[in-house]
Amino acid sequence: MHQQPPYAELRKKPYVPFYLQVIVAVLFGCAAGVYFGKDSAHYWANDSLGEVGLAVIRLLKILAVPLIFVAIVDTILKTEITGRNAIRVITICFVNVTVAMVIGLAIMNAFEPGKHWRGRMATEAVQPIKHATNQPSVEPAKPELGKNKISPIQIISGLVPDSLIDPFIKNNTIGVIIIALLFGFAFKHQRRVGSSERVAQIEAIAETCLNATLTVIGYVVKIIPYAVFCLVGAAVGKSGLGVFSVLWIFLVTILAGFFLHALCYYTLVAWLVGKKSPKLYLGKGADAIITGFSVNSSLATMPLTLKTLTGRMAVSDTSARMSVCFATNLNNDGITLYEAMAALFVSQALGFDLSLSQQVFIVLVSIFVSMGIAGIPEAGLIILPLVLSASGLSDQSIAIAIALIVPIDWFIARLRSAVNVMSDMVVAIMLDRFSVPSKPH
């Protein structure tokens, strides 16, 4: 009888959750930072660690841009946006994300929590916000951006790129989104006028490119813990372990935004508009919400969310599917709120005095970017460098910020997913309320 070689009996490597890998990387990074600290003879190693971590950040940025382009084109080609329900869904999602941004901006401007990080982050290589304009950047002696306010007209004008390839070269997120939307709807129009066969080929190419880009990003995500080790090591080596002493301020800030938007706004809307009591919305929806938190994915929770809506909450199948399936690229209030608040928090920490128009620009970037990569694992972490870059931060400053944020991002990521699940449910409830005539009591 043929015997298998000994190595065939070796077990596969045990699966280690991503968040656990990050926690271990943070711990080892702290140890390395202490060892290579300022008082160490090996202090030079801090720069080496920082450069390695910075390379991964740059890699994420250059991959996120083509990902957003192909994801938007692929979504437009595959999604049928027709009928009154589609308009209602878009309107409801727009209202929800507007409320989320008002809450986020109110918290950031009223309390300015980022100022508590002043002196905790290196301010070298900070560049002023350009908002995709073609104006040359001038390094100020101090980051006094508020004295050089950019008008809304300049911002809108700067959204239009100089060429098709310019946004991809300069990582101009809004420019890439505009081009993707134009080409996506143009391809869809060609399908309607009789070029369906050629458009089908384009759709296949877009899907292939999307899958290939996601595969490459999957490779990069696997090395993120090593980048975290390098970034944390460099940050601790330069500033000591005290750099994490104010981390709780960032966590409390994000939690406040999530609490007000998800538990207060969503619950009230479901109750007052959708006629679903808090006991029904939160109680019957608890399974889906907790599952979204546990698996860190609103997309993976989709089947349970649909079952919860149509079964326990008595929402029509059409409304549930329109919200959870069609609006999956629009219902990302958790990611959008987090990205915008994180960018403004870091900007405050670095001394940026952002005007309202500049804050709105960051909000728009957060909204469109989150729409572009809905459902992708670790989406919040992948697009964070892009949103921070839109705030005018240099790669060095972004690397420092991520080194401080990542230790708690694994927890915040799960809260983001839970908020996204709650968003799916409330949109379905509101859509059902407006679509189905009220029954007489």
The CATH number of the domain where 218 resides is what? 1.10.3860
Torsion sign across C-alpha atoms 19, 391, 162, 179: positive
3-state secondary structure of 81: coil
Burial of 270 (0-12, 13-18, 19+ CB in 10 A): buried
In a domain, 99, yes or no: yes
N-to-C CA span, the chain: 76
What confidence score (pLDDT) does residue 136 get?
A: 37
Domain count within the chain: 1
- For 8, the token pair is 């065939």
Integer angstrom CA distances of residue 413 from 13, 359, 435: 25, 23, 33
Query: Using alpha carbons only, how large is the chain's radius of gyration in Å?
Result: 23
Torsion sign across C-alpha atoms 132, 135, 140, 145: negative
Closest CA to 80 of 177, 192, 162: 192
What confidence score (pLDDT) does residue 426 get?
A: 94
In a domain, 61, yes or no: yes
What confidence score (pLDDT) does residue 142 get?
A: 38
In a domain, 13, yes or no: no
Consecutive H or E run containing 3: none
What confidence score (pLDDT) does residue 224 get?
A: 79
344 phi and psi angles, rounded to 5 deg: -70, -35
Counted residue by residue, the chain has a size of: 441
With beta carbons less than 8 A apart as the criterion, state whether 228 and 18 touch: no
In a domain, 6, yes or no: no
What confidence score (pLDDT) does residue 31 get?
A: 86
3-state secondary structure of 345: helix
Distance CA 427, CA 441 (A): 24
| Angle formed at CA 414 by CA 107 and CA 362, multiple of 5 degrees | 40
In a domain, 9, yes or no: no
In a domain, 150, yes or no: yes
In a domain, 440, yes or no: no
| Per-residue confidence in pLDDT tens, the chain, 441 aa | 455 554 444 445 566 777 678 778 888 888 888 787 666 555 556 667 777 877 877 787 777 778 778 877 887 787 665 557 668 888 898 899 899 999 999 999 998 888 887 766 644 333 434 443 333 333 333 333 333 344 455 555 666 777 788 778 776 666 777 888 888 888 888 887 777 788 888 888 988 988 888 788 778 878 878 887 887 777 777 767 766 767 788 889 999 999 999 999 999 999 999 999 999 999 989 888 888 887 677 766 877 888 889 888 989 887 887 787 666 667 788 888 988 898 888 888 888 777 888 888 888 888 877 765 655 556 667 778 878 887 777 777 787 788 778 777 778 888 888 898 999 899 999 988 887 554 443
Range of the domain at 292: 18-435
Distance CA 300, CA 322 (A): 17
What confidence score (pLDDT) does residue 287 get?
A: 86
Classify residue 332 by its DSSP letter. -
In a domain, 217, yes or no: yes
